[in-house]
Amino acid sequence: MFGKSLMRVTGKHRRIDTVDSARHSRRAFTLIELLVVIAINAGLVNAEGPQAKPNIIFIITDDHGYNDLEATDLRDEVNMPNVHRLSTGGALMTQAYCTAPQCVPSRAGIVTGRYQQRFGIDANGEGPLPNSQQSIASRLKTLGYKTGHVGKWHFDINRGTKDWMRKSGYQREADIPVSVVNAFKPQGFGYDEFAEGVGARVWSNFDVNGKRFPGQEVNYGSYENGIHKKKYRIQLQTELALAFLKRHVGESKPFFLYLGFYGPHSPLDAPPSLTEQVLSLSALEAKGYDHSKIRHRKSHNYAKDYTEAEVRQQGLALLKGIDNGVGEIYQLLEKNGELENTLIFFMSDNGAPLSVRSWDGSVNDPWHGSKGIIFEGGSRIPYIVHWRGVIPPQVFDKGVNTLDAGATAVAVAGGDPASDPMLDGVNLTPFLTGRDKGAPHRYLYPRYMNTASITQGKLKFMRHENGEELLFDGIVQHDFSPGSFPLCLCASVPLCLIRHGNLRILL
């Protein structure tokens, strides 16, 4: 009735038709990888990895649209070879969802492995993260891991958490005891080492050189006589992540790193050192981006007045900075012989915002919608799982979500996510190694404020608090060739609208 998906995942180096799922397995395998897969399926090798407890890294991008990986780039604009190496060497998840299309609720799900609506976080400003919730980091710490957090956290007490302050009896932030404030920072949720921050000021107990000290604010604008002052935020987060990794690679105790890159999220202020690595403004103008007039005015989101072409260039530059960081992390792991013993999840917290006041230069093609809306554009995200020698290269087109990262991490660490009532994700290892040919989920439940949805396979049902109900078939009915551009970006095809019990066919 609903037909097969006609979407083609395209990139600079490959093209995969999802009409024929059998073609997904037709990827180039090295002899070693092929033998590992055969051994796993024969039960001769532990599918949980070469060692009992692998290292685990979560790399979370911020407001990163579905189009903007080399493997899914319909516009031929993205330059991210290091992330592309993860996707071609691992599992590219083409139907992956966040649990909410906004930062705080989505990240609350990622950090805890639980649908955030279960504990009352539906939108930004509804924090802090309740300390009644157990994080993935705290679970892994119990299982013997050294845990670290770098970058964006977004769950602590701040000016936006006024409801919590009122309910807790505090009139001002200054009235809150330091011990209470710290309880909602990463160290309160199982992170041994932390460098929390989205700019030059970082709440940290270690520095970029690996030096350890009690938790304190480090201002890299002036730290060590200002030698770090010119480092862009993505570079600083990369160096802090590397400092954590350098201390722990090769140790007998495995590590877990949560790296929250603050990009391509605004502010759009990428330095020339990054914009020079991506498409020029003339090249973007030739692709159809307007460069003749100002569309995006200087604000807290934009460092200056920008044209459409300049905003796209900024978004691509921020993604390039992230890609450079991923490359440095990959090289460090490879140099130390840790790639075969490290499970890496790369995923966005939600889709890109698209309004004239908030567009971050990222693109959600081919999906309709944006950050803040649970249409596919806001909730369908870039998502890669990489574990050299264990997860074979593949395109995985069954529905998954960000909660599965936590459940998978607990499973490979020796825990049992299926017996944990506080975990809503699924261990993806059996599905990505071929032991289980089924779908990880029967249903997925993205939700945001006054709109909820249920996704089953390619079908998506949405309900708004006003009683409006929508049913979509999430297919793309266009033949997307490399470098081509779809005429219709509304790729979730509406099947029907159900309003107050009355059915109206839209086709």
Q: Smallest Cα–Cα separation from 497: which of 460, 477, 470, 461?
A: 470
Q: Smallest Cα–Cα separation from 167: which of 135, 133, 130, 134?
A: 130
Q: How many CB atoms lie within 10 A of CB 132?
A: 7
User: How far is 464 from 470, CA to CA, in rounded Å?
Assistant: 9
Distance, C-alpha 153 to centroid of its chain: 13
User: How far is 207 from 212, CA to CA, in rounded Å?
Assistant: 7
User: Residue 160: its pLDDT value, please?
Assistant: 83
Side-chain-facing half-sphere of 87: CA atoms under 13 Å: 31
User: Residue 158: its pLDDT value, please?
Assistant: 85
Residue 252 and residue 281 in contact, taking contact as beta carbons nearer than 8 Å: no
* Amino acid letter, 476: V
SS (H, E, C) 45-98: CCCCCCCCCCEEEEEEEECCCCCCCHHHCCCCCCCCHHHHHHHHHCEEECCEEC
pTM: predicted TM-score of the whole model, two decimal places = 0.86
User: Residue 475: its pLDDT value, please?
Assistant: 61
Residue 9: φ, ψ to 5°: -80, 120
Tens of pLDDT along the chain (507 residues) come to: 333 232 333 333 333 332 233 333 333 334 444 444 444 443 334 444 444 799 999 999 999 999 999 999 999 999 999 999 999 999 999 999 999 999 999 999 999 999 999 999 998 888 899 999 999 999 999 999 999 999 999 999 888 888 899 999 998 888 999 999 999 999 999 999 999 999 999 999 999 999 999 999 999 999 999 999 999 999 999 999 999 999 999 898 999 999 999 999 999 999 999 999 999 999 999 999 999 999 999 999 999 999 999 999 999 999 999 999 999 999 999 999 999 999 999 999 999 999 999 999 999 999 999 999 999 999 999 999 999 999 999 999 999 999 999 999 999 999 999 999 999 999 999 999 999 999 999 999 999 998 999 999 989 999 998 999 999 886 644 333 333 333 333 345 554 443 333 333 232
Domains and CATH numbers, the chain: 24-441 (3.40.720.10)
What residue ranges in 324-388 does DSSP mark as E strands?
Answer: 342-348, 383-386
Residue 224: φ, ψ to 5°: 50, 50
Helix (H) or strand (E) holding 313: helix 308-335
With b meaning 16 or more CB within 10 Å and e meaning fewer, what string describes 269-303? ebeeebbeebbeeeebbeeebebeeebbeeeebbe
